[in-house]
């Protein structure tokens, strides 16, 4: 699909996040922490950027099955094709989503989305690098019955876009709408770790799947957000690896067949770590660091949008350097917030890389960005904590 609706929606996403933060501030409710929000957005950025280099493989599998094994061909121009594809896509999402919560192998590909202990629109963008690899088989029946790749991929994107707005604390229960549609109230339950909320409300668009298969739970008490086993890190790469590592370590010391069986059991089957991190993780840098990261986040977000837009018309090789610089930014910001000793060198490396890349567009741009990078490096040195230096 040449048009990327997710890329087109990015400015809308950020606009809505700004509006939500402003409304929450007026209401006197704290629903955002800068460090957590940057971590959420960094996970979304890493998911989108790495997906540029891998999504073609999963799309190719659908296209190959559609071309070689479809039983019929449903017309793209008929409304019934779109209704059927949209409803089936949502049902397939329910099945995949439920599987990711009930089996460790699936949970490892989805846990990233649940790690934030806040709940806001930024959390909607907190996505895993590996979730697409675990979800694509669930949608293959659409290819078999003759739903074209264009219709299937568009319905998948629309399903994802719908779920953005339900990640908020500011919208109350919506009455009769919630009998059929997934709403913020329903999805708050899904993100809660309250005992009665665990493994409930898997729906994407239509909550009727949860009602039919007895996984529905209404919002009664205020949810406590996050995961039962907290992550305690802002690093988007560790967020993606964490459960795989946790699972591999548990598997390594398990006896006999249990080494394999653990991967196919539920997340609750894994032993608790000897010293589990406490809830309420809030590792942070000095106050001046917030301004630095926020200021630099804006051009990185703009660069991410540009890369997603042009990815359909340029080679993967041309995207490697800007994509690498974007990923390096998400790593360095997490390291700065966590006061890692290597944070400053990594951020300086990124600044230098940006100057080199922008310089390929002309000497004037290299000069302008060189000055900005030098000012940024000095500013960062001034606001960084002594441990980071």
Task: Summarize pLDDT for 345-389 with one digit per residue, the tens.
Answer: 999 999 999 888 888 887 887 788 888 888 888 888 887 765 555
According to the model, what pLDDT value does residue 273 have? 57
CB 146 within 8 A of CB 71: yes
Give the DSSP H or E segment for 349.
Answer: helix 343-359
Report the chain's mean pLDDT, rounded to a whole number: 91
Q: Which of these, 51, 64, 128, lies nearest to 316 by C-alpha position?
A: 51
DSSP string, 137-177: GGGHHHHHTT--HHHHHHHHHHHHHHTTTTS-SSS---TTH
Report the distance separating Cα 51 and Cα 157, nearest Å.
14
| Domain boundaries along the sequence of the chain | 5-212, 287-383
According to the model, what pLDDT value does residue 387 have? 57
Q: Token pair of 348, please?
A: 């300086």
pLDDT tens, residue by residue, 319-336: 999 999 999 999 999 999
pLDDT tens, residue by residue, 184-231: 999 999 999 999 999 999 999 999 999 999 999 999 999 999 999 899
pTM over 0.85: yes
According to the model, what pLDDT value does residue 385 have? 60
Report the distance separating Cα 133 and Cα 100, nearest Å.
12
CB 100 within 8 A of CB 110: yes
Q: Provide the 3-class DSSP secondary structure of residue 27.
A: helix
According to the model, what pLDDT value does residue 374 have? 87
According to the model, what pLDDT value does residue 389 have? 55
Q: Which of these, 273, 250, 228, 234, lies nearest to 126 by C-alpha position?
A: 234
> Taking each helix axis from N to C terminus, what angle separates 149-162 and 79-102, rounded to the nearest 10 degrees?
60
Q: Token pair of 21, please?
A: 């933060």
Terminal CA-CA length for the chain: 46
Which stretches of the chain score pLDDT less than 70?
A: 1-3, 272-277, 283-286, 385-389
Q: Token pair of 145, please?
A: 């019955």
């Amino acid at each position: 699909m040449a048009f990327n609706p997710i890329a087109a929606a990015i400015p809308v996403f950020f606009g809505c996040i700004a509006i939500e933060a402003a409304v929450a501030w007026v209401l006197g409710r704290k629903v955002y922490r800068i460090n957590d929000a940057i971590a959420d957005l960094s996970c979304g950025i890493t998911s989108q950027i790495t997906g540029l280099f891998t999504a073609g493989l999963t799309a190719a599998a659908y296209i190959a099955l559609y071309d070689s094994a479809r039983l019929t061909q449903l017309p793209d121009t008929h409304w019934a094709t779109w209704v059927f594809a949209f409803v089936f896509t949502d049902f397939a999402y329910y099945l995949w989503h439920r599987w990711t919560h009930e089996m460790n192998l699936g949970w490892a590909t989805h846990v990233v989305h649940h790690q934030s202990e806040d709940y806001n629109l930024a959390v909607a963008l907190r996505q895993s690098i590996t979730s697409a690899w675990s979800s694509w088989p669930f949608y293959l029946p659409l290819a078999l019955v003759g739903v074209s790749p264009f219709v299937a991929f568009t319905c998948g994107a629309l399903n994802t876009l719908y779920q953005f707005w339900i990640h908020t604390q500011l919208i109350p229960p919506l009455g009769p709408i919630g009998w059929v549609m997934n709403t913020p109230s329903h999805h708050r339950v899904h993100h809660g770790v309250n005992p009665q909320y665990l493994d409930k409300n898997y729906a994407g668009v239509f909550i009727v799947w949860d009602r039919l298969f007895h996984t529905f739970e209404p919002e009664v008490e205020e949810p406590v957000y996050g995961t039962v086993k907290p992550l305690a890190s802002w690093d988007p790469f560790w967020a993606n690896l964490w459960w795989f590592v946790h699972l591999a370590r548990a598997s390594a010391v398990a006896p006999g067949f249990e080494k394999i069986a653990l991967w196919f059991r539920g997340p609750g089957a894994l032993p608790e770590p000897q010293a589990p991190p406490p809830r309420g993780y809030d590792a942070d840098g000095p106050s001046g660091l917030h301004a630095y990261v926020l200021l630099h986040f804006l051009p990185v977000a703009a660069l991410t949008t540009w890369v997603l837009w042009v990815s359909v018309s340029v080679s993967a090789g041309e995207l490697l350097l800007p994509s690498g610089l974007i990923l390096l930014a998400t790593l360095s910001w997490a390291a700065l917030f966590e006061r890692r000793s290597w944070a400053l060198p990594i951020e300086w490396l990124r600044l230098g890389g940006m100057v080199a890349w922008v310089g390929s567009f002309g000497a004037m741009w290299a000069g302008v960005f060189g000055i900005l990078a030098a000012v940024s490096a000095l500013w960062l040195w001034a606001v960084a904590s002594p441990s980071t230096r």
